[in-house]
Amino acid sequence: MAALNRALTYCSNIHPGESWADIMHNLNSHALDVKQQLGGDAAFPLGLRIAHQAAQEVDDAAIAQFQQWCKQHNAYLLTINGFPYGTFHETRVKENVYLPDWRERERVEYSKRLGDLAVALQPDAKRISISTVPIAFKPAFKDSDWATACSHVLEVAEHFQQLTKQHGIELVLAIEPEPECVLETTEEAIEFFQRLNLPSHLKTHVGLCFDCCHQAVEFETATECLARIKAAGITIGKVQVSSALKASGLEIEKLLAFDEPVYLHQAVARCSANGALQRFADLPEFARALANGQQFDECRVHFHIPIFCEHLGEVGSTQDFLIELLPLLDTDTPLEVETYSFKAIPEHLRHGSISENIARELTWVGNLLADKAS
């Protein structure tokens, strides 16, 4: 992989496990393998998914163990995924992934705990982002919930600001818009920050986790997204480098083969008649629309597929969104490849081990950025 002047990692939510022991096992079993495959002498950044169980288990001994591991293997903590609170693999996750959401105390305390762990695990960091849910699952949210959700986000921001004062590490709560959630489109994200009305001392402590798969599913344009976020003065805590499914014409029905029981696969389809976008909470709902004779000229589906895939043989991808967006980013924006649903991809479309695919994805990003810079 070409040398980069920016931090690039992958999110460890691709590996099953909710405990701190699971995290350390995955570092030893997978992260080191990825690091070795990439080669080079640069320090290896880590994107850790820390579930609630793991966050509660970490003590001083575990912190010391992690720091020693990083020193031994020339690695460091770059970012934390604090989105999934509980079990994230091998059981039905679907809309439960957003629970507890920002209406609930559990989300507040969990997020504060992750801030505490961030400054303890990497005490020499300059900045660490912690991604989180886009307020709540949209069908479950009412307008009367806004006051509670906003006050909870502000409470965590105040906690992060105090930690920054004490430790000199800038912490960013990075809220991640996602289809079928309260924050879904870039427009909704901007409206949220206007509603939140952050005081000046907290503006750097709440931002966005910009997930490329999610915004591509919304039929948004990378250049326009970034321009609007910048104009609104919103911090991008990190960018999750991910790709969605895309199909048009006769390929559209092939998307239904990606329906599986673990994750929610929201779909956004463009109507053939008038070009309007129609949203579906999951693929079975989209399948019913097709069965009822609805006509679409293109559909995109929330399913994180390997980013080096332009086409999967039966359907396409939103890789072009990444090719447009990545060179536009500031070089201090952390990049985190996130292909957590690798095991959910139909088996005949999977090639190689998880570690081999992660290394290939990171290499693809590095080469893209190097080519654009030359």
Count the helices and strands in the chain (H runs, E runs): 12, 13
pLDDT value at residue 2? 52
pLDDT value at residue 348? 67
- 10-residue block means of pLDDT along the chain (374 residues)? 76 96 97 94 96 98 98 98 94 96 98 98 98 98 98 98 98 98 98 97 98 98 98 98 96 96 97 96 98 97 94 93 97 95 75 89 95 78
* CB-neighbour burial class of residue 280 (10 A; exposed 0-12, middle 13-18, buried 19+): buried
The partner residues of 46 in beta bridges, in order of sequence, read 77
Provide the residue count of the chain: 374
**How far is it between the farthest Cα atoms of the chain?**
62
CA–CA separation, 99 vs 220, rounded Å?
27
Domain ranges, ordered by start, for the chain = 8-243+317-373
Fold of 8-243+317-373: TIM Barrel (3.20.20)
CA–CA separation, 136 vs 368, rounded Å?
34
pLDDT value at residue 329? 96
CA-based torsion, 47, 17, 364, 133: positive or negative: negative
Quote the pTM value: 0.96
Q: CA dihedral defined by 225, 231, 235, 238, rounded to 10 degrees?
A: 20
Which tokens go with 301?
């589906």
